[in-house]
Structure 1
Amino acid sequence: MSSLHGPGPWPPHAMDLPDEPPRQDDGKVHMPSVVMDGVRTHHFRFTPDLDTVREVVELLRERAPYERLHDRLAEARALELCDELVRELARRELSRRQVYEAGRWLAEYGTRREAVKIGIVLVGASGDERDRELLLLLGTLEEFTLYAVVALLRTQPPRERERAVFELARRVTGWGRIHAVERLEGSDDPEVKAWLLREGFRNRVMDEYLAPLAATTGDLYSALLDPEPDDALVDGAGGILAALVRGEGGPTTGISAYGEAVPALARYADLVTTREATLQRLDHLLTVRRDLRRPPEHWAPGDVAALRRRYADVLAQPRWAELALAGVADPEGADFSRAQRCASALGLPILPQVVARLRADACDVFAWQGLTRLAEPEVLAALAEELLPLDDLANGPGDRVIGEHHEMALEIVVKALESHPGVGLPLIRAALRNRRVPVRRGAVRALRAWLGPQAWPESPEDAVAWVRAAHAVEPDGQLREDMQALLIEHKQR
Structure 2
Amino acid sequence: MLSRLRRTRSSDPSIYEHLRAHLPDTGPGLLPGGETLPDDEKGALWAPGARDGVLTHHWAGSADPGEVDEVYTALVTAIENRATAPALVDTVAPLRVIALVDPLMGRVRSAGIDPDRAYRLGRWLALNARRREAVKLGISLLGLFDADHHRAELMVLGRHDEFTLFAAVALVNQPGGGEDELWELARSVTGWGRVHLVEQLANSKRPEILDWIVRGGFRNDVSHAYLAGIAAESGGLAGRLAVADADAELLHAAGDILTALCEQNGPMRGMPDYADGERAARLFLEHLQTRAEDLRHFLAVAALREYAAEHWPALPPACDAVLGQPNWPDLARAGLDSADPAEFQRADRACRFLGIPTLHVHLRRLRADPYDVRGWYSAMHQVEARTIDEVLELAMKLLPLAEIGSGTGEATGVGEEYAPHRCLDAFLPALGDWPGRGWPLVAAGLGCPVPRLRTMAARTMSVWGRATWPPPAELALRNAFAVEPDLELRELMQRVLDDRPLDE
**Are residues 1:193 and 2:222 paired?**
no
Measure how far apart 1:256 and its partner are. Answer: 1.6
Q: Which residue of 2 aligns with 1:418?
A: 432
Amino acid at match of 2:170: A
**Are residues 1:292 and 2:301 paired?**
no
Among 246, 253, 271, the residue aligned to 1:229: 246
Q: Which residue of 2 aligns with 1:4?
A: 24
**Are residues 1:89 and 2:108 paired?**
yes
Q: Which residue of 1 aligns with 2:393?
A: 382
Q: 313-322 or 398-407, which moves further after superposition?
A: 398-407
Amino acid at match of 2:29: P
Alpha-carbon distance between aligned partners in 2 of 1:474 and 1:231, rounded to the nearest angstrom: 57
| Structure 1 gap ranges (5+) | none
Among 145, 158, 161, the residue aligned to 1:142: 161
Alpha-carbon distance between aligned partners in 1 of 2:298 and 2:135, rounded to the nearest angstrom: 45
Alignment of structure 1 residues 111-190 onto 2, 5 Å: 111-154=130-173, 156-158=174-176, 160-190=177-207
Amino acid at match of 1:9: G
Alpha-carbon distance between aligned partners in 1 of 2:499 and 2:111, rounded to the nearest angstrom: 69
- CA 1:334 to 1:361, structure 2 compared with 1: closer, same or farther past 3 Å? farther
**Are residues 1:241 and 2:258 paired?**
yes
Q: Which residue of 2 aligns with 1:348?
A: 356
Alpha-carbon distance between aligned partners in 1 of 2:337 and 2:167, rounded to the nearest angstrom: 47
Deviations 1:396-433 (A, max 9, x none): 22233435343233342233232333322333333332
Amino acid at match of 2:291: R
Alpha-carbon distance between aligned partners in 2 of 1:442 and 1:81, rounded to the nearest angstrom: 37
Alpha-carbon distance between aligned partners in 2 of 1:410 and 1:353, rounded to the nearest angstrom: 20
Q: Is the 8 A contact 2:431 2:460 kept in 1?
A: yes
SS in 2 for 1:417: helix
Measure how far apart 1:12 and its partner are. Answer: 5.4
Q: Which residue of 1 aligns with 2:279?
A: 263
Measure how far apart 1:330 and its partner are. Answer: 4.9
Q: Which residue of 1 aligns with 2:495?
A: 485
Deviations 1:354-401 (A, max 9, x none): 221222222122221221232232233222223222222222222334
Alignment of structure 1 residues 401-480 onto 2, 5 Å: 401-402=412-413, 404-451=418-465, 455-456=467-468, 460-480=470-490
Measure how far apart 1:261 and its partner are. Answer: 0.9
**Are residues 1:319 and 2:316 paired?**
no
- CA 1:127 to 1:369, structure 2 compared with 1: closer, same or farther past 3 Å? same
Amino acid at match of 2:313: A
Q: 439-448 or 203-212, which moves further after superposition?
A: 439-448
Deviations 1:113-150 (A, max 9, x none): 33332332222212253543332232223222111111
Amino acid at match of 1:172: V
Q: Is the 8 A contact 1:337 1:366 kept in 2?
A: no
Measure how far apart 1:333 and its partner are. Answer: 5.6
Q: 475-484 or 353-362, which moves further after superposition?
A: 475-484
Alpha-carbon distance between aligned partners in 1 of 2:120 and 2:495, rounded to the nearest angstrom: 65
Alpha-carbon distance between aligned partners in 1 of 2:37 and 2:475, rounded to the nearest angstrom: 49
SS in 2 for 1:414: coil
Measure how far apart 1:312 and its partner are. Answer: 1.5
Alpha-carbon distance between aligned partners in 1 of 2:184 and 2:425, rounded to the nearest angstrom: 44
**Are residues 1:17 and 2:29 paired?**
no
Deviations 1:68-102 (A, max 9, x none): 33551453143344323432233223344443344
SS in 2 for 1:489: coil
State the identity %.
34
Measure how far apart 1:260 and its partner are. Answer: 0.9
| Structure 2 gap ranges (5+) | 1-19
Alpha-carbon distance between aligned partners in 1 of 2:154 and 2:89, rounded to the nearest angstrom: 19
SS in 1 for 2:355: coil
Q: Which residue of 1 aligns with 2:12?
A: none
- CA 1:405 to 1:316, structure 2 compared with 1: closer, same or farther past 3 Å? farther
**Are residues 1:208 and 2:219 paired?**
no
Alpha-carbon distance between aligned partners in 1 of 2:391 and 2:317, rounded to the nearest angstrom: 37
Amino acid at match of 1:382: E
- CA 1:421 to 1:152, structure 2 compared with 1: closer, same or farther past 3 Å? closer
TM-score (normalised: structure 2) = 0.84
Q: Is the 8 A contact 1:471 1:484 kept in 2?
A: yes
Alpha-carbon distance between aligned partners in 2 of 1:451 and 1:367, rounded to the nearest angstrom: 28
Q: Which residue of 2 aligns with 1:250?
A: 266
**Are residues 1:100 and 2:131 paired?**
no
Alpha-carbon distance between aligned partners in 2 of 1:58 and 1:331, rounded to the nearest angstrom: 58
What's the Cα RMSD here?
2.7
Alpha-carbon distance between aligned partners in 1 of 2:192 and 2:450, rounded to the nearest angstrom: 29
Alpha-carbon distance between aligned partners in 2 of 1:456 and 1:382, rounded to the nearest angstrom: 19
Measure how far apart 1:249 and its partner are. Answer: 4.2
Q: Is the 8 A contact 1:100 1:127 kept in 2?
A: no
Amino acid at match of 2:187: R
**Are residues 1:42 and 2:60 paired?**
no
Amino acid at match of 2:404: L
Amino acid at match of 1:335: E
Q: Is the 8 A contact 2:45 2:412 kept in 1?
A: no
Alpha-carbon distance between aligned partners in 1 of 2:137 and 2:424, rounded to the nearest angstrom: 45
- CA 1:233 to 1:416, structure 2 compared with 1: closer, same or farther past 3 Å? same
Q: 199-208 or 86-95, which moves further after superposition?
A: 86-95
Measure how far apart 1:335 and its partner are. Answer: 2.9
Alpha-carbon distance between aligned partners in 1 of 2:395 and 2:247, rounded to the nearest angstrom: 46
Q: Is the 8 A contact 1:394 1:434 kept in 2?
A: yes
Q: Is the 8 A contact 2:151 2:171 kept in 1?
A: yes
